Amino acid sequence: MTRRSLVPLAVTAGVAAASTLLLVLAVRGGWLGADVGRGATFCEAARAGRVRQPGNTFSNAGFVVAGLAVAWRAGRPDLLGDVLPRRPGTATAWACVVVLLGPASAAMHATQSARGGDLDLFSMYLTSSFAAAYALTRWWDRDRVFAAQLFSLLVAACVLVGSVGGDDVPVVRYAGNVAFAVLLVTTVVLEVRLHRRGPTRTDLRWGAAALGSMVVAFVVWNLGQHGLCDPGSLVQAHGVWHLLGALAAWLLFRLWASEVEPAATVAT
């Protein structure tokens, strides 16, 4: 058995601890600004304490758990297939991005502030841009410098779309959510085409599970705003969206970790 490296877990845990501490300090110190009702459409009634929407806030712990799970597995290169280990740091970077989703989304639900909402959207841009950039990098067979540049470009494009597109888009509400969705759809299409083109192969069952989780999450996300709503409950449909999103992030990583050469055995 390959000896486990604790570096991915240590780096990710450090990101988790630092970002969570910053969130706590920001909530206590009012750094994110006044409550302007950002996120109030997600059913849960605002409480009088520092954490305005506790159910929707603490359900974001799922992203931290998922990111740490990615990091734990990333410490075993023999469990990462044939392709992912050839791109050093990719698995750890994904683990950190997933972890950051937790405190960033919690910032909006804890404060209902405009800056908190911006952090929430920005963390979504990070995840969708990462997924699309990794797929495109493999499609064009480019190196990690190109991947980093493309990732940065996609994040900037998402920010631009979110800034100029407004917040009255049908179904998904924010233009930034459209950018997020477009990149995820791009990722799905590319992952299928990469599998079919070869020469490497992924276990598309992981991809199907990730996609299924996101589809269910999106349905729940909508139901939580249109009928499936108990404002006083700590169990919120939007909280389920968070948990399913965290599951999808883990499943997408398992898809990447299943990519092998045709003669190799898929690590599971």
DSSP 131-180: HHHHHHHHHHT--HHHHHHHHHHHHHHHHHHHHHS-S-BTTTBSHHHHHH
Residue 116 lies in a domain: yes
Number of other CB atoms surrounding residue 55 within 10 Å: 24
Identify the residue with better confidence: 225 or 9: 9
Instruction: Inform me whether the pLDDT recorded for 264 exceeds 50.
Output: no
Range(s) of the domain holding residue 213 = 7-257
Q: How far is 149 from 145, CA to CA, in rounded Å?
A: 6
pLDDT of the residue at 163: 87
Phi/psi at 129 (nearest 5 deg)? -65, -40
Percent of the chain past pLDDT 70, that is, above it, reads 94
Exposure letters 110-119 (e unless 16+ CB within 10 A, then b): bbbbbbbbbb
- CB–CB of 237/229 below 8 Å? yes
Angstrom distances, CA of residue 161 to CA of 96, 115, 118, 166, 259: 24, 17, 13, 9, 32
Residue 204 lies in a domain: yes
Confidence of residue 265 (pLDDT cuts 50, 70, 90): very low
pLDDT of the residue at 101: 97
Q: How far is 60 from 65, CA to CA, in rounded Å?
A: 9
**H or E element at residue 78:** none
- The total of structural domains in the chain comes to 1
Q: How far is 128 from 249, CA to CA, in rounded Å?
A: 10
Q: Could you tell me the two tokens for 183?
A: 């990149």
What is the DSSP-derived secondary structure letter of residue 219? H
Question: Three-class SS of residue 201?
Answer: strand
Q: In 3D, which of 176, 179, 27 has the Cα closest to residue 112?
A: 27
Q: How far is 92 from 115, CA to CA, in rounded Å?
A: 27
Crossing angle for the helix pair 237-257 and 90-111, to the nearest 10 degrees: 170
Contacts of residue 108, defined as CB under 8 A and 6 or more positions apart, other chains included, come to 38, 39, 116, 117, 119, 120
Q: Mean of the pLDDT values across residues 235-254?
A: 96
Q: How far is 58 from 56, CA to CA, in rounded Å?
A: 6
Residue 2 lies in a domain: no
pLDDT of the residue at 267: 43
Residue 18 lies in a domain: yes
Q: How far is 167 from 41, CA to CA, in rounded Å?
A: 12
Residue 210 lies in a domain: yes
Residue 233 lies in a domain: yes
Angstrom distances, CA of residue 96 to CA of 15, 152, 158, 172: 6, 16, 19, 26
Confidence of residue 268 (pLDDT cuts 50, 70, 90): very low
Residue 162 lies in a domain: yes
Instruction: Inform me whether the pLDDT recorded for 263 exceeds 80.
Output: no
Residue 72 lies in a domain: yes
